[in-house]
Amino acid sequence: MAMLPEVFRHIFKKRATLMYPFRDREKIPVPEGLRGKMSFNRELCIGCGLCARFCPSGAAKLVEDDKGKRPIFYIDQCLFCAQCEEVCPRKAITLTREFEVAGFNRSNLVVK
């Protein structure tokens, strides 16, 4: 019963959290320096494999196709630590400020 006054005090206050998905996305400030979803430029990639070698979670895998070796990134396994971005000699990998990576289809979480 000691909790009831606390409940009534907070029940009419402004909410501390926002409903997701957000109705008005323009008002949500993205913090400076946020490491979000990665962007990969295939044209700059030389297929060295450093991104896959230094990825602590194994989210970057090196595969070979008709154009040579190239990485594939599995965002659902990514820690967003930016190791891949730092070791890439050609700067083919950048982490964007896009933070919404949830989805219903796992194939949408693969960056090729």
Going along the chain from its start, the domains and CATH numbers come out as 32-111 (3.30.70.3270)
Mean pLDDT of all residues belonging to the chain: 88
82-108 mean pLDDT: 92
> In whole angstroms, what is the distance from residue 96 CA to residue 107 CA?
19
Cα–Cα distances in angstroms (integers) from residue 48 to residues 29, 60, 62, 64, 111, in the given order? 36, 12, 9, 12, 17
- In three-state secondary structure terms, 51 is helix
> In whole angstroms, what is the distance from residue 96 CA to residue 83 CA?
14
pLDDT at position 25? 61
> In whole angstroms, what is the distance from residue 5 CA to residue 106 CA?
45
pLDDT digits over 17-32, tens only?
A: 767 666 666 667 788 8
The residue ranges of DSSP E strands in the chain, in sequence order, are 38-40, 60-65, 68-74, 93-95, 110-111
Helix H, strand E, coil C: the string for 54-69 is HCCCCCEEEEEECCEE
Provide the whole-model pTM: 0.73
Residue 81 has pLDDT above 90, yes or no: yes
